[in-house]
Amino acid sequence: MPTTEKNITIIKLGGSCFSDKKVPRSLHVDVIDGVCKQLEGAGFPLIVVHGGGSYGHPVAKRYGIHLGWQEGFGDQSAGFCETHEAMVELNHAIVGQCLKHGIPAFAVQTSAVFLLEGGAVSSARLDAVDALLDQGLVPVLYGDAVVDTSRGFGIMSGDAIIVELANRLKHRVDRIVYLMDVDGLFDKDPRQGPGARLIPDVVIEGGELFVPGEAGPARLEDVVQQGGASIDVTGGIIGKLRALAHLEDKEVAINLICGRNRSSLAGLISGAPVPCTRVSIKR
């Protein structure tokens, strides 16, 4: 029976990387294909976690699923189920691409693994994920609509899943790679025109995010010009990074890189310098 003694890398396929947020249920199959190509024969144990993109977010937002039971959102039971169904459809497509590339991907239903209570994780049954890793397989989890025993339901983001996996698996997670539509975090949106600067380092300290600089650290929120309306129900990139403050192992290597080209991920894996934002957590 194959067992894996090596440390685990988690790849987070961010929704912005593989889908167009303006077009419901849009999937850039070429992007998934490129990511899988770069992971072929990776030679180290992997978990893939993908986000919701224009599959999960718009449905969740329409029905207020991230808010739990609320007046004024229509039939939230139907919305809860529809959000999950959208994620299952997306997951099916992503796992299918992985299999085409010889990656032994195995879908793990997030909402069957985790329960929330008041928005916090109250139950996590991760033995199957550990067992899949023991078999040399690649568990694929995803942001999902999850039962919340006090609010009815909620959304568990891919980023919250990553923290739970890193903190609770019997295997050690030593690297987390965020695949984005751009090279990392910028001081302003690089898609809106020239002049945006890549932020090479972000430090998480005491739950806050800082950008180191010659004049001392600056709060990330003060450095980054944030966009306007969004389909995102899970807090955008800053919310995602803030979730990482809950990682118990502060030594995990965390990189934000572009998942849309066919070279950054392979470069990072091989140890080559690639444009990225590195995230470190201070004790």
User: Residues binding ligand IPE: what is the number (CB under 6 A)?
Assistant: 20
Task: State the minimum distance, in angstroms, from the CB of residue 200 to ligand IPE.
Answer: 22
Torsions phi, psi for 27 (to 5 deg): -130, 125
Residue number with CB closer to ligand IPE (163 or 281): 163
The closest alpha carbon to 279, from 228, 245, 234, belongs to 245
Asked if 45 interacts with ligand IPE (CB under 6 A), we say no
Reduce the DSSP state of residue 91 to 3 states and report it: helix
Residue of 51, 64, 154, 184 that binds ligand IPE (CB under 6 A)? 51
Residue 211, token pair as written in the block? 């950008």
Residues 6+ apart with CB under 8 A from 183: 190, 198, 256, 257, 258, 264, 275, 276, 277
Q: Residue 131: in which H helix or E strand, if any?
A: helix 127-134
Residue number with CB closer to ligand IPE (4 or 73): 73
Asked if 111 interacts with ligand IPE (CB under 6 A), we say no
Asked if 234 interacts with ligand IPE (CB under 6 A), we say yes
The piece of 52-60, 119-127, 165-173, 211-219 that touches ligand IPE (CB under 6 A) is: 52-60
Asked if 232 interacts with ligand IPE (CB under 6 A), we say yes
Judged by the rule CB under 6 A, the positions of this chain that interact with ligand IPE are 14-15, 51-53, 56-57, 60, 83, 87, 143-145, 155, 157-159, 232-234
